[in-house]
Structure 1
Amino acid sequence: MGTPEQLTAEGPAVSWAGRVGGLAGSCHPGPVVAVTVLMVALALTAGQSAARCVLTGAAVLTGQLSVGWCNDAFDARRDIEAGRRGKPVVAGTVGVTEVWVAAYAALLLCVPLSFACGLWAGAVHLAGVAAAWAYDLRLKATAWSWAPYALGFAGLPAFVALGLPGQPWPAWWVVTAGALLGIGAHLGDVLPDIRADLAAGVRGWPQRLGRDRALLLLPVPLVAASGVLVLGPAGPPGRWGWAALVVTALMATAGTVLGRRWERLAFASAVAVAMVDVTLLLLRGTGIA
């Protein structure tokens, strides 16, 4: 059948603009942008200076880019065999070697940018990036596939907190909430591809659960994150905190009940709960350390 590089080289030559667009598409731009913007916003609410916010954003961006490109490059063979034309490597707009080069280049940039935020901050962030690479290269097909998501998402707010003046350790509740959000993100990210993954022999944690049980479990870590974000910080939660907790519980319950008949509603309710969690995280940003 030929190598992935040979397969993507067939057909008319692709322009430089097309290859740049292919690289941009193969980095998983949605999650890359969302995570980077969220961390910059959290850095702002936590009290980092403008210059440090830019540095934090650059470190997170390069780390996320490296992970996204690693994922597409490593999965190229399976994606080609499955005919996933939505992937730039499969469509032939960019070659596998180019994606690997971009992944390693972004990773090399991420190292000094992370340590520029502080020794402990850099170590925590790079540990999360390393966990994400481990997921791409090996752990995604094991029962431990949830662990890199939990570690990576827990490390992001910790990275922001450790980047503050004095390098304070992050509050327990923000790390716990981050880990729970990561587990929820893992379930939501894998759900659409569970059947295809099983056919390809990928048996991560959600695949072992099966689509129905994974869909049922999806809102649980997200609602748990809501509880931690509302009840974890010092002081009373206040009316808005209790209201947010009630709303997320109701949305999750409705999604679980109605999702048995209308699957998309279950996923939509989980996304809504995750958005509430992100809002709570930003509102609580001043107390993350």
Structure 2
Amino acid sequence: MTAELSQGHRPGGTAAARGLVAAAHAGPAVAVTVLAALLALAQGLDPGRTVLLVAAVLAGQLSIGWSNDLVDLGRDRTTGRADKPLATGAVSPTLVRGCCGAAVLACVALSLACGTAAGLVHLVCVAAGWAYNLGLKATVLSWLPYAVAFGGLTVFVALADGDRAPWWWPVCGALLGVGAHLLNVLPDLDDDAATGVRGLPHVLGRRRIAPVAAAVLVAASAAALLGAAPAPAVTAVAALAVLGLAVAVVTAAGRRPFVAAVGIALVDAALLVVGR
């Protein structure tokens, strides 16, 4: 806790708003929400249902992000995380708890408004994110919530249209989620190790994470290409791009393996959307 907070001061409105955005893990939250919107577009949902679906996904992602920083508050203070607004005192835990509770309520209402079956699937996805925050992140099953959440997201979108997702949507989504987990944890390995967190990425070790992530993401690409069966030219271009990036992941130095693995993830996301 900062000296200012200990003396009774509170962050101003603008600072608190910035802190709320940062504590929500805005980057991943926006990325997943945009992916949901693109999937809804690919599915052909009407505008009203699309708005409901996107709002439900955003509310769920906000609740996951805020709960993550609330659960990790003690760890983040111990490791001196200057990028965590709760740990630095840029935003109060009371405010974040209130916003998180409101996001949960909004997520439940908006999800079920998309249809009972669809809503329940999405709530399982959000529950998987919470399960990760509440303990699975520190076990070798840390990948499982990502697989459930990303794979389930595709099923949610299809069910919101009264449709059944093609087999390769949840398969590709689940693999994409596992790859995203491996890449997302990479910058925090040292801080996690210092506080006893030992998920799958920590078991693999820093050297193996990017190659394993690349293999998982290549498998996602293969599933997407097999299921979508795009034109031969599109298949060739996508396959060459993914294989080239995979080679870079294994052989490049510095941050280039990480960047290349992110590139594969982007190709997979594009195939997931345009292949429908």
TM-score in terms of structure 2 length: 0.95
CA distance in 2, matches of 1:104, 1:148: 21
CA spacing shift, 1:175–1:14, aligned 2, 3 Å: same
Mean CA deviation greater in 100-109 or 22-31: 100-109
Aligned residue in 1 for 2:245? 251
Structure 1 stretches of 4+ moved >3 Å:
none
Aligned residue in 1 for 2:235? 241
1:193-272 correspondence runs (5 A): 193-233=188-228, 235=229, 237-258=231-252, 262-272=253-263
Deviations 1:165-192 (A, max 9, x none): xx12211100000000000000001111
Shift of 1:247: 1.4
Three-state SS of the structure 2 residue aligned to 1:218 is: helix
Mean CA deviation greater in 187-196 or 8-17: 8-17
Shift of 1:126: 0.4
Aligned residue in 1 for 2:48? 51
Query: Which of 80, 85, 89 matches 1:88?
Result: 85
CA distance in 2, matches of 1:201, 1:273: 31
Given that 1:7 and 1:92 are in contact with CA atoms closer than 8 Å, whether structure 2 keeps it comes out as: no
CA distance in 2, matches of 1:222, 1:236: 18
Query: Which of 14, 21, 24 matches 1:24?
Result: 21
CA distance in 1, matches of 2:74, 2:118: 35
CA distance in 2, matches of 1:7, 1:152: 39
Aligned residue in 2 for 1:282? 273
Given that 2:176 and 2:265 are in contact with CA atoms closer than 8 Å, whether structure 1 keeps it comes out as: yes
Aligned length: 275
Once the two structures are aligned, what percentage of the paired residues are identical?
Answer: 45
TM-score in terms of structure 1 length: 0.91
Whichever residue aligns with residue 26 of structure 1, its letter is: A
Whichever residue aligns with residue 98 of structure 1, its letter is: L
CA spacing shift, 1:13–1:99, aligned 2, 3 Å: closer
Whichever residue aligns with residue 68 of structure 2, its letter is: N
**Is residue 10 of structure 1 aligned with residue 6 of structure 2?**
yes
CA distance in 2, matches of 1:187, 1:175: 18
Deviations 1:63-87 (A, max 9, x none): 0000000001110111011111111
Q: Which runs of 5+ in 2 are unaligned?
A: none
